[in-house]
Amino acid sequence: MTDQTQHIATPTSEPAKPARKRVGGGILGLTRKDFALLVIVILLTVLAPFLLNPFPTDSAMAQFNAGYPDLMQRFVIFGIFAIGFNILFGLTGYLSFGHAAFLGVGSYSCVWMFKLLGYNVLPGIGLAIIISGLFALLIGFISLRRSGIYFSILTLAFAQMSFALAYSVLSNPKFNLTNGETGLQVYTNDPQIFHNPATTVNAPHIFGLAMRETETLSLGRWDFQFNVGYYLSAFFMVICFYLAIRLFRSPFGMMLRAVKSNQQRLNYTGLNPKPYTLAAFVISGMYAGLAGGLLSAMDPLAGAERMQWTASGEVVLMTILGGAGTLIGPVLGAGFIKYFENIFSKINESTLQAWFAFMPDGMQDVVVAIVYPFVGKGWNLTLGLLFMVVVIFLPGGLVQGGQKIATVFRRDRKASGVEDDAAEQRQAGE
Amino acid sequence: MEAFILQILNGLDKGSAYALIALGLTLIFGTLGVVNFAHGALFMVGAFVAVTMSKLLSLSTTTIDPTRTDFLGNPATIDTPYVVNWFGPEVGATLIDWAVPLAILLAIPVMILFGFIMERGLIKHFYKRPHADQILVTFGLAIVLQEVIKYFYGANPIPTPAPDVFRGSFDFGTLLGFDPNTVIYPYWRLVYFAFAGVIIAAVFAFLQFTTFGMVVRAGMADRETVGLLGINIDKRFTIMFGIAAAVAGLAGVMYTPINPPNYHMGMDFLVLSFVVVVVGGMGSLPGAVLAGFLLGILESFASTTWATNAVPGINQIIIYLVAMIVLLTRPRGLMGRKGVMED
């Protein structure tokens, strides 16, 4: 696979070169194509405050803007979550239905670091990755004893168990780890041994720079917001994305693909796939933990609902919608879902009435009545329908959709080219 | 001893629900090879059929009685259900009272039809797709069903009482020679247990003693060969899907008096039912039933005060713990056979 991609990516390179050298070559160990992808992602994340804010602040279209800190943070954080999920599902084909558990564990660990050490986010994020990795090791070790549907069910059961643990079991007065329904948060009587309220800000920060701090740049009628928390999360996402590319192109990634395509044959060749799948599971659990830690860093409140099966289903949908097994797909999917969740939830009946005001009166009411159940509180219904539509018609997700459209155009060109050739030949024959 | 019997009894009704859902799941799984994540939603739809039935029966005409006034001094309005108008006050009242059992009559055709539409319209196209796709599409369907129900019936649980006759409790203690009021058990839960027993027996009898059931069992063992013998196995499997949907729906109908139905009850039960199926052994019908009752009873034992005092919250996680242990020691489940869903 490495040889093949290498060959496709750089058709001019001589295939006779030793493989090792080629893997190490390129920029940051990437082929030119992958590096271009990485650069595009970096540019998109850095320029997101501009790109996601195309409408002037006072215009009627401003509600479609996504360039405000809260939403941008969610884009990149759930992007990390989906990239991690894709390492497991996209490469090995193991469908985990309980990935939200790791997200939740990461969130809780991060808040605990805030409570014990202080508001600097780095220890929290570090602990979130470590704890969720260990948790994933435990769950993965048990769940990976079975594959296929069993695996999905087991991970779902584990996630529900973690939810039950976080929601009620681990929040009794004797041993309060999760603070139950209220959610874990920092109280004034917490130790916070490294926290000095006199010198540092009383909110999550990185070396004194608060996560919530936002610079606003006003250019004419546009207001662009640059948020510290967003750029920190974006920094982590770029690193995660880079690691994911390296992993996809590595021999290890190759083994994971082999697990997906034919595990039996792998067994016959004398290879034990379990260490590879377990490693993939743990890596993707750590990605989820990082995402959870970042969520807590943006808003230091961790609740059990982050671990619920709906949250697990959402990351599956993000990955599938974007395109499982592709590099950029999960990020696209995460952005797509979070954007529309946000926009759809904001729409209410009067907004709809205003939109369809151009229609004749009777028709306007009918259209509003039809659309209304799908927006506002009905976002989950739209999500479910979207889920079904994507799985039924577009199993490869948005990336596959894009490729399909691209091939249609290319085929048209090629087809007309073939006809021309045929015409020429006929003429030559005559 | 009294407490012991009481806990076993308490576990039976929840165990019955688990067993019925797990039975349907296993049926679909064994015949069509599809993992139905929407099966919990079918259970919920069944429960809401009962709610609809009780609402239908109490549809009323409103008349104004000028001779009486309400507390504001306005003429009192009197709601007379249609059934009372049609069948007279006594029969009408009885009909309304018996709404939940009557809902069974409505639920059977509704659920079978629902199952047919679901199988022909959606599941059929997923036989050749990977299991992951089947899981995902049925999961999406479960969300859609849940949200549709929420849209029409609201987010709050809707209390739907059992008939008056079954309101009280049965005193097992006197029957077994203990003191009165030590082992008491609500009548309706007893009814539910008996009902589940009848349904389970009926499904097994249907599969074991009818020609249709024989063909279905043969198809479960080797679908291709049965097809080669000139039998339209797909049609029979579709019917089995309808039956499985009806079983889940009936379980939901009868469960409404025990637990007021809300839109997310299906998913709560589904996760546990999957665990039940895995513990029982995928593809094994007796395993599903056995594991359903076992886990229901275990859960009820874990809910006792001494258990929760020893390990706080054990009742929330006991089922998962047991599932873990079973899978670590017997990866195929209690009664799983070799070669069933091993890929």
Alpha carbon A224 to chain centroid distance?
24
Measured distance CA(B273)–CA(A151) in Å, rounded: 15
pLDDT tens column, A77-86: 999 999 999 9
Domains present along chain B, CATH in parentheses:
2-329 (1.10.3470)
Kindly state whether residue A1 falls inside one of the protein's structural domains. Answer: no
| pLDDT (mean) for A120-129 | 92
Q: Is the pLDDT of residue A20 over 70?
A: no
> In three state form, how does the secondary structure of B43-73 look?
HHHHHHHHHHHHHHHCCEEEEEEEEEECCCC
Is residue A100 within 8 Å of A315, Cβ to Cβ?
A: yes
Q: Smallest CA–CA separation between B238 and chain A, in Å?
A: 20
pLDDT, greater one: A202 or B247: B247
Q: Which two tokens stand for residue A302?
A: 């961790």
Measured distance CA(A409)–CA(A386) in Å, rounded: 26
Residue A14 binned pLDDT confidence (cut-offs 50, 70, 90): very low
Paired strand residues for A216: A225
- Locate the chain A residue with the closest alpha carbon to B121: A392
Lowest mean pLDDT among A297-306, A416-425, B258-267: A416-425
Predicted confidence at residue A69, as pLDDT, reads 86
Highest average pLDDT, of A118-132, A346-360, B27-41, B176-190, comes from A118-132
Predicted confidence at residue A79, as pLDDT, reads 94
**Cβ-Cβ contacts under 8 Å, A378 against chain B:** 147, 151
pLDDT, greater one: A178 or A16: A178
Burial category of B179 from C-beta neighbours within 10 Å (exposed 0-12, middle 13-18, buried 19 and up):
exposed
**Cβ-Cβ contacts under 8 Å, A156 against chain B:** 271, 274
pLDDT, greater one: A7 or A265: A265
Does residue A266 belong to the interface with chain B, where contact is any CB pair within 8 Å? no
The domain of A173 spans 66-309
Kindly state whether residue A274 falls inside one of the protein's structural domains. Answer: yes
CB contact under 8 A, B343 and A142: no
Q: Cα torsion for B237, B242, B245, B247, to the nearest 10°?
A: -100
Helix, coil or strand: residue A397: helix
pLDDT tens column, B129-177: 888 888 888 988 998 998 899 888 988 888 888 888 887 777 777 777 7
Measured distance CA(A51)–CA(A47) in Å, rounded: 6
Predicted confidence at residue B342, as pLDDT, reads 52
CB contact under 8 A, A175 and B312: yes
For A229: left if phi > 0, alpha if psi spans -120 to 50, otherwise beta; the answer is alpha
- Rounded to two decimals, what is the model's pTM? 0.84
Question: For A324, phi and psi rounded to 5 degrees?
Answer: -70, 140
Q: Which helix (H) or strand (E) holds B19?
A: helix B2-32
Q: Which helix (H) or strand (E) holds B75?
A: strand B75-81
Touching B: A residues 389-408, CB under 8 Å: 391-392, 395
pLDDT tens column, A158-193: 888 898 888 887 877 777 888 888 888 888 888 888
Predicted confidence at residue A21, as pLDDT, reads 45
Q: Is the pLDDT of residue A232 over 90?
A: yes
Predicted confidence at residue B340, as pLDDT, reads 57
Highest average pLDDT, of A207-211, A276-280, A310-314, comes from A276-280
Kindly state whether residue A167 falls inside one of the protein's structural domains. Answer: yes
Which of A145, A147, A373 has its CB closest to that of B327? Answer: A145
Predicted confidence at residue A334, as pLDDT, reads 93
Predicted confidence at residue B338, as pLDDT, reads 67
pLDDT tens column, A383-416: 888 888 888 888 888 888 888 888 888 876 665 5
Length of chain A: 430
Chain B interface test: which of A89, A138, A149, A309 (most B C-beta within 10 Å): A149
- For chain B, the residues whose C-beta falls within 8 A of a C-beta of chain A are 35, 122, 125, 129-133, 135-137, 139-144, 146-148, 151, 267, 271, 274-275, 277-278, 282, 312-314, 316-317, 320-321, 323-324, 327-328, 331, 341, 343
Angle, helices A100-116 vs A148-164, to 10°: value is 30
**Cβ-Cβ contacts under 8 Å, B144 against chain A:** 381, 384-385, 388
Does residue A161 belong to the interface with chain B, where contact is any CB pair within 8 Å? yes
| pLDDT (mean) for A39-47 | 91
Residue B162, number of CB atoms within 10 A of its CB = 22
Kindly state whether residue A35 falls inside one of the protein's structural domains. Answer: no
Measured distance CA(B88)–CA(B220) in Å, rounded: 51
Is residue A378 within 8 Å of B147, Cβ to Cβ?
A: yes
CB contact under 8 A, B317 and A164: yes
Measured distance CA(B170)–CA(B189) in Å, rounded: 10
Q: Is the pLDDT of residue A371 over 90?
A: no
Helix, coil or strand: residue A185: strand
Predicted confidence at residue A414, as pLDDT, reads 61
In chain A, the percentage of residues whose pLDDT exceeds 70 is: 90
pLDDT tens column, A90-107: 999 899 988 999 999 999
Is residue A212 within 8 Å of A203, Cβ to Cβ?
A: yes
Predicted confidence at residue A253, as pLDDT, reads 92
Is residue B3 within 8 Å of B304, Cβ to Cβ?
A: yes
Kindly state whether residue A111 falls inside one of the protein's structural domains. Answer: yes
Is residue B283 within 8 Å of A149, Cβ to Cβ?
A: no
Residue A4 binned pLDDT confidence (cut-offs 50, 70, 90): very low
pLDDT < 70 stretches in chain B: 338-343
Chain A interface test: which of B147, B263, B308 (most A C-beta within 10 Å): B147
Kindly state whether residue A277 falls inside one of the protein's structural domains. Answer: yes
Predicted confidence at residue A25, as pLDDT, reads 54
Q: Which two tokens stand for residue A321?
A: 């919608």
Kindly state whether residue A76 falls inside one of the protein's structural domains. Answer: yes
Q: Could you give the number of structural domains in chain A?
A: 1
Residue A10 binned pLDDT confidence (cut-offs 50, 70, 90): very low
